Chain A
Amino acid sequence: MDPQERVAEKISVTEGRPPVIAPGHTFGTITDKISAIVLIRRTGIGWLIGFGIGFMWLMILLYAIAYLVYRGVGIWGVNIPIGWGFAITNFVWWIGIGHAGTLISAILLLLRQSWRNSINRFAEAMTLFAVSCAGMFPLLHLGRPWLFYWLFPYPNTMNYWPQFRSPLVWDVFAVSTYFTISLVFWFIGLIPDLATLRDRSQNRFTRAAYGFLAMGWRGSARHWKRYETAYLLLAGLATPLVLSVHTVVSFDFAIAIVPGWHSTIFPPYFVAGAIYSGFAMVLMLAIPIRAAYGLEDFITIRHLENSGMVMLATGLIVAYGYIMETFMAWYGNNPYDKFQMWDRMHGPYSFFYWLLITTNVLIPQVLWIKKFRTHPVLLFLVSTDVLIGMWLERFVIVVNSLHRDFLPSSWGMYYPTRWDWFTLFGSVGLFVAAMFLFIRILPMISIFEMRQLLPQATVKAEAE
């Protein structure tokens, strides 16, 4: 049977559902198509514009950070009683976005969802950049960011050690572990593709650069066996890790006694919210990328629809979290919790609460309709809406709970300053610029895992 026939056979098996890879591809065409984006394709005007916008905001971010270091956190709108403001809102939002990358690369690998193979690479890159953006905020929020290393336990002349009973210290360990493991997982996944780029590149400089990074990978069967074991084990380790990271982030709130924070629903609902916003970001990246680079063969409607379904499911868990928060505020009969919920719905920030309910709960219900899951533009719009909604969720949790707690004499209001906005949009700029660089210099789709998806990759029975 020639490859064409085998492809046809494979399609007839999965008839009725769009394929995860368009028919007619061979090992060679997959390799050439993905590696050409990096090696041969000219840097387009669209790339330059996109990168330019990201880079501009990155420069604004650096300016905002420089001014922050010069003047101190007073340039932000934070003050007692709202000491956390945008910084922690952005931190939780970004780190949540990162979670979808790990979910796609690790959890879906363990669940043998092979459709993940064409989106895991850039989802992992998204994780790295999102966690980088996230990690920046608590450090900038420290007041004296240059002393950030005081957070780590190391022998020092002050004879001082971190306080390990505090969730803020757990956070340091959770986020730094998460970043390290994500980086390692991503790089290990890249090695065989870097070897492909090394062997396909036409000039000495790129060959040396990719060759250096590929570390001499040659696709030996013995290497592949250890590689597969290590990759699977890393996925198995990353799975509980990703769940633990947002759990620990939610402990930052839930361990405190502030009304609206002190709740056992926080860990699962934070994790669901993280995956919800992460998939929204995956779609916001995947939809333009597949159009701009002509990758509809590899990132098919099936991927978009599956991601839409994950968003719908996690969105419903988040909605359940909102309902339970409200229910517990009433059922728990604690006057401060009751007031907190009343204040969310009717207080000075109530506009944002209702906007949150609209963007995060009501509008995403359109995903029940197949057309909204399969139409790229509509799905893109829903994803944008979800990302805004998830940001608002963190804003409501952080600001609304702090602004009116137990003592009316210490109530207050929080208004973001221009520096708050510059830092928020600047972090988006950092993310965008990093993503554009990534798709320009590294294969954004895992080439070797795509080869495995082809029907001709299976060893036929007569070999037995």
Chain B
Amino acid sequence: MTRNTFVWLLIIVAVTVVLGGASLIVANNPVQAAAGAPVGFIH
């Protein structure tokens, strides 16, 4: 494995970890900006 390949492998792993981590946090967060407009609710 060349140094260049190794560096790219590290970058791919880092990007995957960041995007995967963000996906897990956002998907599991109960606080959403909106969860469907309550059109017509009286109270």
The judgment on whether A and B are partners is no
